[in-house]
Amino acid sequence: KMQAAAPRLPAAAACVALLAGLACLSLLLRRRSRFARLRSCSEVPLATRAALERHRWLPLRHSAIEAALDPRALEAAFGSIAGAFSPQQVDYSNTAYGKDHWQLSCFMEYEGGVALGKVDLRRGALMRRAAEPTLAACDAVFLRWYDSVHPYLRAKASRSLVRLQSFVTRYRPHADETHLPRHIDGAGVDGSLVLGLPSECGFGGGGLTVWDGEGDAELFEYPVGCGDVCLLDSKVWHQSNPVTWGERWVLVIFYRVLTEPRHRAARPPA
């Protein structure tokens, strides 16, 4: 005897079952990740979006790039980075509010800053080993952007970077730990990069405000989520915005840019 064929689900019911399965899978994957979902640079306020549109054909002295680095790679490295975090106190005098005592950052590299001789780079050695691939990736992102802002003839010159400072900063809603007020990154800095790192608990507030555009007086606000970068030219005023809850982690690099002429080989005598 031939067995009766199994009853088929109507197309609509099969579609509903498939969508339900996908939803369960998505929920399971989200539960497996221990990191919070952070707002990205594409989720800027309307005022920032309008300002960027006004300057679409005009050069700005900063830029924000969404997912410039792979967020999953940063999440994989974050345990080692957070485990090596050892902040040191630095006194800054280049903020809009006078001298500030800063003890939120673990320094991996430090050259030519106001705390030269006071920062113990041995405390950041583990952090640097953990972050070295991330630092190299940041260098490549910064150099591509800087070349677009400051073009040069590659046939006649070469360009390279020196990392003057690199450090990881953790912001928390505690006294003197919420943010760094309006400031520039120092007279000897040719440009800087701020990379958003993962956060296990997420945070409220935060992000970066940049003063650029007409008269350097227009405000640009960026969330700077995990993998996003904000790139700043020399002496661009900016601030990290106050964190109201949770923890916000960023990696910051100050650069010196070297553009050197290529030396042509001497012609042999005739």
Residues contacting 11, CB < 8 A, separation 6+? none
pLDDT of residue 11: 63
Question: Among residues 209, 162, 213, 215, which one has the least CA distance to residue 189?
Answer: 162
pLDDT of residue 220: 97
Residue 15 forms part of a structural domain: no
Residue 9 forms part of a structural domain: no
Pairing between β-strand 248-261 and β-strand 191-196 as defined by DSSP bridges = antiparallel
Residue 28 forms part of a structural domain: no
Tokens 């601030």 sit on residue? 239
pLDDT of residue 27: 43
Residue 270 forms part of a structural domain: no
Residue 177 forms part of a structural domain: yes
Whole-angstrom CA distances from 259 to 163, 165, 194, 263, 269 are: 15, 19, 23, 13, 30
pLDDT of residue 31: 43
pLDDT of residue 267: 59
Q: Are the beta carbons of 246 and 142 closer than 8 angstroms?
A: no
Per-residue pLDDT of the chain (270 residues; tens, 9 = 90+): 445 544 555 666 655 555 555 555 444 444 456 898 888 988 999 999 999 998 888 889 999 999 999 999 999 999 999 999 999 887 766 554 445 567 889 999 998 776 666 788 999 999 999 999 999 999 999 999 999 999 988 888 999 999 999 999 999 999 888 998 899 998 889 999 999 999 999 999 999 999 999 888 899 999 999 999 999 999 999 999 999 999 999 999 999 999 999 876 555 565
Whole-angstrom CA distances from 42 to 37, 39, 146, 196, 229 are: 14, 8, 21, 13, 12
pLDDT of residue 264: 63
pLDDT of residue 12: 60
Helix (H, G, I), strand (E, B) or coil at 119: coil
Q: Are the beta carbons of 251 and 168 closer than 8 angstroms?
A: yes
Count Cβ atoms within 10 A of the Cβ of residue 17 and give its class: 0-12 exposed, 13-18 middle, 19 or more buried.
exposed
Host domain of residue 119 = 36-261
Q: Number of structural domains, the chain? A: 1
DSSP-assigned letters across all residues of 136-181? HHHHHHHHHHHHHHS---TTTEEEEEEEEEEEEEEE-SSTTTS---
pLDDT of residue 225: 96
Tokens 């579609």 sit on residue? 15
Residue 23 forms part of a structural domain: no
Residue 257 sits in a domain of what CATH number?
2.60.120.620
Q: Radius of gyration over alpha carbons of the chain, in Å?
A: 24
Residue 257 forms part of a structural domain: yes
Q: Which residues pair with 230 in a beta bridge?
A: 64, 194
DSSP 3-state percent helix, strand, coil across the chain (nearest 5): 30, 30, 40
Residue 12 forms part of a structural domain: no
pLDDT of residue 59: 83
Residues contacting 46, CB < 8 A, separation 6+? none
DSSP-assigned letters across all residues of 39-103? --TTS--HHHHHHHHHTTTS--SEEEETTSS-HHHHHHHHHHHHHT---EEEEEEEETTEEEEEE
